[in-house]
Amino acid sequence: MTTINDIAKMANVSRTTVSRALNNNGYVSEDVRKRIMKIVEETGYMPSVSAQSLRTKRSGVIGIILPKISTETSSRVVKGINEVVSKEGFQILLTDTELNPKKEVEYIRLLQSRQVDGIILLATNVNKELLNVINDVKVPFISLGQELPNVTSVVYDDYHAACDMTNLFIQRGHEKIAFIGVGEEDPAVGHTRKQAYLDTLQKNGLTVKDEWIHEGGDFSIESGYESMKQILKKSQGNLPTATFAVTDRMAVGAMEYLKEQGYNIPGDMAISGIGAAVMSAYITPSLTTIDYNNKEAGRITARLMLDKLNNKNVSEKSTLSYRLISRDSV
Amino acid sequence: MTTINDIAKMANVSRTTVSRALNNNGYVSEDVRKRIMKIVEETGYMPSVSAQSLRTKRSGVIGIILPKISTETSSRVVKGINEVVSKEGFQILLTDTELNPKKEVEYIRLLQSRQVDGIILLATNVNKELLNVINDVKVPFISLGQELPNVTSVVYDDYHAACDMTNLFIQRGHEKIAFIGVGEEDPAVGHTRKQAYLDTLQKNGLTVKDEWIHEGGDFSIESGYESMKQILKKSQGNLPTATFAVTDRMAVGAMEYLKEQGYNIPGDMAISGIGAAVMSAYITPSLTTIDYNNKEAGRITARLMLDKLNNKNVSEKSTLSYRLISRDSV
């Protein structure tokens, strides 16, 4: 079997040069790279990723598991992570679960088998199998956006953000506040934001009507549209005057339904979201929302990852700050 | 050094079972998986990805290089690809170049070093180094969205789509049509769409004024906003009555500037984009655009990739169809 030493000898370069060429790690002239690659091809030599990692202890790659690549949250987080890790010479491999919980588990295994140095997970749900698999992971692991037991977690302050948003409606005189949420298998978005809404209403002595609360099937615009439709249908005669949707896309969908039905926003119904989607600034009326500063969240997570890679101690839980953006929809 | 046979012996299972557990490829009970993983951890055994690939000839992974994960184009394409390849047992690894041409080259090397079975590139530029690196790729390779010489390419019909859009303005009586584009180092979006616009105006005997054409710095909303500002500034006294932006986001930015300045859309200025971004349906007025059916493009590309993996002959160039969506902005 051809070894890296054979390749080096045949190309008349050092073993380090061959390694550089194969890993794209350090300078090799295009001529030499071509010569090496030609020999690699002719001999059918395949570099052993595992052997490399054992030698260098680093593969130079961080794996990120995203719930959905299309969301702005995902791309901002990746941007922030990349900004930090690229300076240290790391590259990034991404996987997209398309909101399928089973894929979170599969992709943790896939990234490990491709010998990444560390894994960052943006989970949308928490279940026993996921926790078991994370527990078996042999490289530094960080959860971003969900607090997971015994896992380094970087979390948004969902509870206080959702309290602030509910309070904003109350300060503006609203007493009948509806809520568009998602399933509670997503602890951060489905459970915590709803709990904050319920607690804030109760603290202010306001009634919570079941018909004012609706759970969308996913985070989509369509799901927000459908939820608003259901809420209006069920609360005929006692309509809410405000609706808090847990994501901007759901809020946009809700607005779309209200507009179609001839309701004035915010006159007949005030609306807010969470997430500061670009779109939220461009729709009419512009949407009141919460900015989680996802890029900074990515940077913070990346710095924690580098610390872990350097065997430094890191705190198990970091809670991020947020900013309420008050616009025309409330 | 520990081998897979040692692990199998210690775990009292077959070598196939160990391989399944490590690759998450086929059923292994949770108990057995744990036992194997424990031994793997204790012995420090690292499965050699290259050895596996040599045995199975397949790593079961397709790599995709995206220009920007946040765009809807990217996520729809990935969805389409995944729909097809997942049925054949393939997983997907993604990389995000953040529109940096150098990263396209780096990521082709990275994906190869992680032994993917095939690579799909969504390029935003074409340069000599990129073509050289692609030429050295030893696994099936497909370019989606850009036609590359000697590379299997799946392309959108940018030329005819942009002709149709320009013709729509002309049919509606517009004679002074502005254009918001991007740099020509992006052949599909920067060069072809612009050429189609110029050819269509010329064919109809319409004047092309330099001041009606502006190249944005990137594909962003901000870039469209700035471009519209420049066009209006430079064409005082001879304002265009319509503007064709090469992407929906740029069109949205242009609309934003026009609204700020008190122009009526489409009364004072008609606007169109390309891409059928979700947002295009929700802004006011809704945006006339071209739908490239990116998901279907992903499916077609994936089927070509599977054909290539099965050593079937595929045509070097496939051109996709499109659909003009006429809405309120024109």
Domains and CATH numbers, chain B: 4-47 (1.10.260.40), 58-156+294-321 (3.40.50.2300), 158-291 (3.40.50.2300)
Q: Contact A115/B282, CB-based, under 8 Å?
A: no
Residues of B in contact with A29 (CB under 8 A): none
Task: Quote the CA–CA distance of A240 and A329 in Å, as a whole number.
Answer: 15
Q: Which residues partner with A14 through β-bridges?
A: none
**Ranges of residues in chain A whose predicted pLDDT is under 70:** 1, 24-26, 44, 46-57
Contact B117, B59 (CB under 8 A): yes
Amino acid at B207: T
pLDDT for residue B53: 41
Summarised one tens digit per residue, pLDDT across range A294-311 is: 999 999 999 999 999 999
Residues of B in contact with A133 (CB under 8 A): none
pLDDT for residue A15: 85
Task: Quote the CA–CA distance of A253 and A231 in Å, as a whole number.
Answer: 13
Q: Which residues partner with A213 through β-bridges?
A: A179
Question: CB-based contact (8 Å) between B93 and chain A?
Answer: yes
Amino acid at A15: R
Which residues of B, range 254-273, sit inside 8 Å of A by Cβ? 256
Q: Contact B283/A284, CB-based, under 8 Å?
A: yes
ipTM for this prediction: 0.71
Task: Quote the CA–CA distance of A202 and A66 in Å, as a whole number.
Answer: 35
Give the tokens for residue B128: 């000599």
Contact B163, B172 (CB under 8 A): no
Q: Contact A138/B41, CB-based, under 8 Å?
A: yes
Residues of B in contact with A107 (CB under 8 A): 91
Which of A3-7, B124-128, B157-161 is least confident?
A3-7
Q: Contact B50/A53, CB-based, under 8 Å?
A: no
CA dihedral B286, B288, B289, B295 (to 10 degrees): 50
Summarised one tens digit per residue, pLDDT across range B43-69 is: 767 665 444 444 456 789 999 999 888
Residues of B in contact with A74 (CB under 8 A): 69-70
pLDDT for residue A50: 44
Q: What residue in B sits closest to A222 (Cα-Cα)?
A: B278
Question: CB-based contact (8 Å) between A1 and chain B?
Answer: no
Instruction: Provide the CB-side half-sphere exposure for A79 (13 A, CA).
Output: 17
Quote the distance between the C-alpha of residue B193 and its chain's center: 16
Q: Which residue reads 């339904």 in tokens?
A: A257
Residues of A in contact with B110 (CB under 8 A): 24, 61, 91, 93
Give B198 to chain A, closest Cα distance, Å: 30
